[in-house]
Amino acid sequence: MRYLTLYKYFLRFSFTKAMEFRLDFFFRIVMDIIYYAVNILFFHVIYLHTPMLAGWTQDQMIIFIAGYLLCDALNMTIFSNNVWWLPQFINRGDLDYYLIRPVSPLFFLSLREFAANSFVNLFVAIGFFIYALTQYQTPFEWYQLTFYLLMLFNGVLLQFCIQLLFVLPTFWIQSQRGLLDFFYAISFAGERPDRIYKGIVRILFTYVVPLSLIASYPARLFMDPFDSWTLIQFIGITIVFWGIVLTIWKKGLRSYSSASS
Amino acid sequence: MKGLASVISMEFRKILAYRSDFWVTFIGQTLIQLIVARSLWQSIFESNQVESMQGFDLNMITLYYLLVPIGTRILAGQNIGFLSREIYDGTFTRYLIYPVNVFVYKSTTYLTHSLFYCFQLFFIYLIYQIIFGGMTFHPEQLFLGVLIFFVASICYMFLCMMVELIALWADNVWTLMVMLKFFVTFFGGGIIPMDFFPLWSQKILALTPFPYLISLPVKTMMGLMPLNESITGIGVLIVWSCIFLGMLQLLWSKGQKSYTGVGI
């Protein structure tokens, strides 16, 4: 309850801050919409030259795109800004201010900034998701949709965990950005359907850095016959990754010297 | 001239200051883009049961996606915020006492980065040779491609400076720069080769600077562009550069009256 109240204050503060820079707020909304448009256009251009991609027709692909745009919007709204600043706090020694507060520092640092502009774009992503469902030719049951949404939310949490795993090495390496740039480069792989990957690359993006589990596998779970075992595995993997994050976070805090570099 | 040589030397040192960051990002980004693009196009070729599409076979498309990330880096030079950040925090004022014009200084630092990334192109060719081999090496294509990239980076620099100068009126222009990057990357053929775009859109885009910024130099390096078209492309880039430079001067003459130097 205490954490919920605190999160309410985070929200209030974030919206107030966003409204102070209204032009920037507006620009950020437009920027995200252009990002969505570029992604949609990319697949549209590809489907001008092929009827199928990775075993999916265009309307199936739109379901996948809508899924990952929804994941992206949620991640951008809730976590992304916070993860962006975390390596700098560690590197400059600003983490001290968060360690002395009577709340979990990981909670505070992960959720303190709510991206108000991305929240607006979340509605755009939801709108596109609904459009994708209306374009989808195959009939589906409501429970399939519910599980798809549940899996996408699980994907957002998994993405957050993976992102943190690229940031936490900042405790040991002298870098202002951690491996965040590398994460942004690699996360691009999750924006493509998993079936295009083969061999070791497929293993890499499914088990080692499970970017395919964020949006691609959930889309498959929605379109293929439902498999409860896969669903359980998804959630299990997210829990394992969260456990790894917590372990490294604790080890990192023990190594944290507070002095800026 | 001696002063500018010092600026170039200083910028080279800055680029190499965080070497591990630099190489991890460079190799990581390049390899990931390559793996994803090759997997995607392999899947497309297999779906259509063809060995080439729009004049690209799998090896050519791989080379295309190897050259694009580094080409985009050459274009982007010093990256987002090279003017706007200093306008925003007020440190832009220091250029008033520098013994060189602010735009000459900024252009030098920007183009030093571009030049550095030009050297990386040779690594790209090397990686390609090691992994796939068999590619015929054409130094004249490589030279012309790099030259076009460098001219393109001057053109893009003026365009970026225009957008960055908007910071004289608006608080934050980072988002505008990201939008510009999206446009240039997509409409310049950085995400998908322009040959795959519908013909009508290719004709419209030919009237903009976008195809000359990425697609033209990359295709020149790959030997997919006739020499006369490459030369014409350089001419088009120079014309666009002049237009952007004129607009930049206009913007600066109006904008400097708004600059307070207070900062955040």
Structure tokens at B31: 């390899």
pLDDT tens digits along B47-80: 888 988 988 988 889 889 888 988 888 998 877 7
Q: B190 lies in a domain?
A: yes
> So what's the pLDDT on residue B214?
94
Beta partners for B56? B53
Q: B175, A31: Cβ pair inside 8 Å?
A: yes
Q: Which residues pair with B53 in a beta bridge?
A: B56
Residue in B closest to A52 by C-alpha:
B47
Instruction: Report phi then psi at A258, rounded to 5.
Output: 80, -30
> Which residues is B52 bridged to in the sheet?
B57
The complex scores an ipTM of 0.86
Q: Is the pLDDT of residue A80 over 60?
A: yes
**Neighboring chain B residues of A182 at a CB cutoff of 8 Å:** 24-25, 28-29
* Mean pLDDT value across residues A7-28: 84
Helix, strand or coil for residue B40?
helix
pLDDT, one tens digit per residue, over A138-178 is 888 888 899 999 999 999 999 999 999 999 998 888 777 76
Q: What would the pLDDT profile of A46-64 be if each residue is shown by its tens digit?
A: 999 999 998 899 999 999 9
Task: Work out the minimum CA distance from A1 to partner chain B, whole angstroms.
Answer: 36
| Chain B partners within 8 Å of A197 (Cβ) | 39
Instruction: State pLDDT tens for residues B190-206.
Output: 999 999 999 999 999 99
**Per the domain annotation, does B264 fall within a domain?**
no
Phi/psi zone of residue B55: left (φ > 0), alpha (ψ -120 to 50 degrees), beta? left
Residue B264 neighbours by CB under 8 Å, 6+ apart: B88, B89, B90
Q: Is residue A74 pLDDT above 90, yes or no?
A: yes
Q: How confident is the model at residue B103 (pLDDT cuts 50, 70, 90)?
A: confident
Instruction: Report the candidate in A205, A216, A211, A160 with the shortest Cα–Cα distance to residue A187.
Output: A211
Residue B246 lies in a domain: yes
* pLDDT 10s digits, A220-247: 989 888 778 888 888 999 999 999 999 9
Six-digit token string for B178: 């990201």
Distance between CA atoms of residues B209 and B239, nearest Å: 10
Give, for B56, the enclosing helix (H) or strand (E). Answer: strand B56-57
Closest of B190, B189, B187, B229 to residue B208, by C-alpha = B187
Q: What is the domain extent for residue B242?
A: 2-255
Domain assignment of residue B263, yes or no: no
| Cα A252–Cα A253–Cα A258 angle in degrees, nearest 5 | 110
Our measurement of the distance from residue B73's CA atom to the centroid of its chain's CA atoms, rounded to an integer in Å, reads 5
| Contact: A46, B183; criterion CB under 8 Å | no
User: Residue A261: what pLDDT?
Assistant: 47
The string of DSSP codes covering A135-191 is: H--S---HHHHHHHHHHHHHHHHHHHHHHHHHHGGGGTS--SSTTHHHHHHHHGGGG
Number of domains in chain B: 1
The phi, psi pair for A57, rounded to 5°, reads: -80, 175
CB contact under 8 A, B29 and A182: yes
- Please check whether residue B47 is in contact with residue B147, taking contact to mean a CB–CB distance below 8 angstroms: no
Token couple for A114: 């709510």
Residue A180 phi/psi, 5-degree rounding, is: -60, -40
Residue ranges of the domains in chain A? 2-255
Nearest to B157 by CA among B245, B228, B218, B60: B245
For the stretch A247-260, pLDDT in tens is: 999 999 998 887 65
B36 touches chain A (CB under 8 A): yes
What does the pLDDT average to over A107-128?
A: 89
